[in-house]
Amino acid sequence: MSKIKTAFFCSNCGYESAKWLGKCPGCSQWNTFTEEILDKGNNKEENWVGYTAEKRNTKTVALSDVISTTEKRIITKDTELNRVLGGGIVPGSIILVAGEPGIGKSTLFLQNGLLIDQLRVLYISGEESEQQIKMRADRLKIVNDNFYLLTETSTQTIFQEIKKLKPQVVIVDSIQTLQSNIIDSSAGSVSQIRECAGEFQKFAKETDTPVFLIGHITKDGAIAGPKILEHMVDTVLQFEGDRHYAYRILRTLKNRFGSTAELGIYEMTGDGMRIVSNPSEILIAQREEQLSGSAIAATLEGMRPLLIEVQALVTQSVYGTPQRTVSGFDLRRLQLLLAVLEKRGGFQFGMKDVFINIAGGIKVEDPSIDLAVICALLSSYEDVPLPAHVCFAGEVGLNGEIRAVNRIEQRIAEAEKLGFEKIIVSRYNKKSFDPKAYKINVTALSRVDEVYQQLF
């Protein structure tokens, strides 16, 4: 029997060291190293369950000899999941889905597994019993005879069952509960997560079976486990949203087969996750048109145009230092826009408390909402409501100029579709579109003071 091998791992970032260290070189945290047994002396080949009988003949080839083909994808009935994955599930891909506890990860992928009725789906659960999963499936009211359950945490037993069933899609809930007997550490430890993910990666690539790994996140919002887990998988999805709201957002953090800017929106209902096909109507549905401090921005999330409501509140500061509070917007970006208004417009925000909120609980990083934020701030500052049925799309520079934004035609078309009568854009965007092609009034301006003169 060979010697037992051990190593030290940082419990925060997964950094591996041969000896104990006080401070982690990877994340600079103190006293985070714990010792874990890597190998009990078992032979890995004896424990391994092979998937394919034949061995691959690996050889080097010239790049010019490789025939380029488009990858085949499994198109699901969930259009939001298809969009986020870049057009469907790629066979042989391994997808990591992370989110807060109770946000609805298990419900979403149980529902998607049941909806894939043309393929044999295996749902592996290490967290819930078969009865619990059956109760949730009954609530979803979807019947699928090709859907199979396995409640097990040992990877050796799981792969023996996989070899018998030969599933075409595998969903693992969750990777932190699985345990390999090759490594003698508890489930959820750095070495166990890495080993179990490695086994599923090998299975996915050998058999061209797509694998979904559902994972946990830490209290800081990062994906639990070593950072190498994110490097091993092909796609990383983040499922987020406030549990007090009904809406959930599926974001792409990494995607080897598509864009990382895509977004899927769901509504949590008693019958499962409902696809939100037109989120713009929801994000501006509860708007009070006659109140000051509210502006509509035409933004983009991936390929999808969205109209969102920006709310601003400017009040006299009671304390010595004025407050700057944001929700769904970058605080440093707000401070930059306030500096532009003070320097270029002469507005005194130095003794005012400023609050910014993106309605609907979503976070926006698109700089094209700058113009809407500035108009909402000026509306609240003057206490004058903005005209109804007006929206904005433009980035604001440090000199007070309105800069051009990309894909302006899609933003204008979305505003027109939702019944807006006027959209204010940058003058530098005029070459990108034909104003006569739209029924909506497209106003192109070049500076913030021109916007102020026109609106107030």
Binding residues for ATP: 99-106
Residue 134 neighbours by CB distance under 10 Å: 12
Which is nearest to 136 in space by CA: 275, 272, 243, 273?
272
Q: Which two tokens stand for residue 276?
A: 């939100």
The answer to whether 416 and 439 are in contact (CB under 8 A) is: yes
Give the CA count within 13 Å in the CB-facing half-sphere of 453. 7
Q: Residues at the annotated binding site?
A: 99-106
Instruction: Classify residue 123 by burial, with Cβ atoms within 10 Å: 0-12, 13-18, 19+.
Output: buried
Pairing of the two strands 16-17 and 5-10: antiparallel
Name residues whose C-beta falls within 8 Å of residue 332's C-beta, 6 or more positions apart in sequence. Answer: none
Q: Would you say how long the chain is, in residues? A: 456
Pick from 155, 149, 232, 161: nearest CA to 187: 155
Alpha-carbon span 418 to 47, nearest angstrom: 60
What CA–CA distance (Å, rounded) separates 399 from 337? 10
